[in-house]
Amino acid sequence: MKKADVIIVGSGLASLQLARHLSKDLNVIVLTKSFVKHSNSTYAQGGIAAAIGTSDTPYLHYLDTLEAGCHLNHPNAVMQLVQEAPALIEELIKDGCQFDTDEAGALLLGKEGSHNQRRIVHGGGDQTGKRIVEGLIQHLSSNISIYENQFVYELLLDDLGRCYGVKSKDQENCMHTFTAPYVVLSTGGCGQIYSFTSNTDTITGDGMALAYIAGAELADMEFIQFHPTLLYSNEETKGLVSEAVRGEGAVLINKTGERIMENVHPLKDLAPRHIVAQNIYNYLRKGQSVYLDIRSIRDFQMKFPTVSALCEDHGIDLSKGLIPVAPGAHFVMGGVQTDPVGQTTVDGLYALGETACTGVHGANRLASNSLLEALTFGKRLARHINSNPGKHIPIHKNKKNTTFLFPELPEKELIQRLMMERVGIVRSAQKLNEQMEWLESFQLEKFHEFGLDLLTVEQINRFFMMQTAWLVTASAIEREESRGGHYRCDFPNERSSWQGKQILQQRLLERRAFNEQIKS
């Protein structure tokens, strides 16, 4: 058993920002499922949204964020986010982060979907995430220990339900225990529960499943943002084609060269992501290919080296100026419900980044607000921990029964395919209920009750995928309207009765026990 003052699960931007700003007097352990740089943050092609242009203001950024989020956002959280953005950019520059500038040294500002101003700060064209992650790693001090290839599979709770540590398994399936007064989940989103996704292979909803099993409250899990433009080759998605490409003038066309976003939305190719993704999906469903026409962009390969390399790796001839695209799961607006400093509803447990639901994204994230959220809340939680040193709590916890014969879980590919078909871009009660019946046939509650010690890393990973898929499906069934990243063909419009209403989920066993008490 290893003791620390703070345990951080995950190694993306939010995790590293937290570690960077924690006091050097604290013993900090970072546990990462793979390698420290293997995260969605490292591969983030977009940038950071910040109102630093001469014609821009935080209030305009605030309005764009609310509009993209279909006004389901928490206004105070959004206002704080956009107000802190310019200072965060200045701080990164002082730390040595190299953002793209013009010949005079002024920051180059890009424009992406749903932004009415050019306010996207980027580095290396489409390598912003990589530059920031590498910069933060360079500034980590000796009090921070990073353990790679540690798959956290259980949150340790005392008899009062307080979180005091985690259990993990390494590549050889050996168990390890870590304890600390502060446990922070920052494992990213859940894109890999879908067959088409921009997410790296480790992003399987672990943090959300862990928090749910521990009894934490989750919110807004029905809101999955499908990025409109993933490279599409041989009927598979191969990686992200940044929205910044459309921001620089690329347009979406069909096989005959017609622009498919004309007369669909006033912002055309820069419409909110869910509108663009749904439109592309409709073309693909009819058997029609969709392309990103990049012929109007000068020096494309210099401006977008990551996208260019991706296309070349998969045999796409960029000289023709057409990139075949399809939408795929990109970002989850919901997650573990937190307060303004990242505290969950479980004492001692915190959440950051895409794992958390902070209220800033609403029903659909505004482009390039994700890196901003990670930086803002990571630093904010660090200030909270630095000002409130924790104490190790006594441990009095009964062991779980491990004699249960677990059912065989489906293969990863089947989970992904059925989620894409039934809980994907276009949803209906029939498909959602089919998926729920299938998920519940595997008795997921039993895994909570008897623990996961006897399962392998690969088996636990599939269980977390199933559990997170259940959370998304259950929320999608309950929200009988369409809003943002949640589209129901049987309820195709927004309903005023759902305005401002969140779907909250807590551990199923506890909900059922509560319901039984009411009945009796």
Distance CA 136, CA 132 (A): 6
468 Cβ neighbours under 8 A, 6+ residues apart: 190, 193, 204, 205, 208, 209
Q: Which helix (H) or strand (E) holds 504?
A: strand 504-505
Determine whether 20 is an active site residue.
no
C-alpha span between 73 and 362 (Å, rounded): 4
d(CA 256, CA 105): 42
Task: Find out whether 409 and 463 touch, Cβ atoms under 8 Å.
Answer: yes
Which of left, alpha, beta for 278 (phi over 0: left; psi -120 to 50: alpha)?
A: alpha
Number of H helices, E strands in the chain: 15, 21
CB 230 within 8 A of CB 326: yes
**Residue 503 burial (CB count, 10 A):** 20
Report helix, strand and coil shares of the chain as percent, to nearest 5: 35, 20, 45
Token duo for residue 60:
């305009």
Q: Kindly name the residue from 20, 131, 246, 273 that is annotated as catalytic.
A: 273
Is the distance from CB of 338 to CB of 346 less than 8 angstroms?
Answer: no
**Helix H or strand E encompassing 178:** strand 175-179
Report the catalytic residues.
273
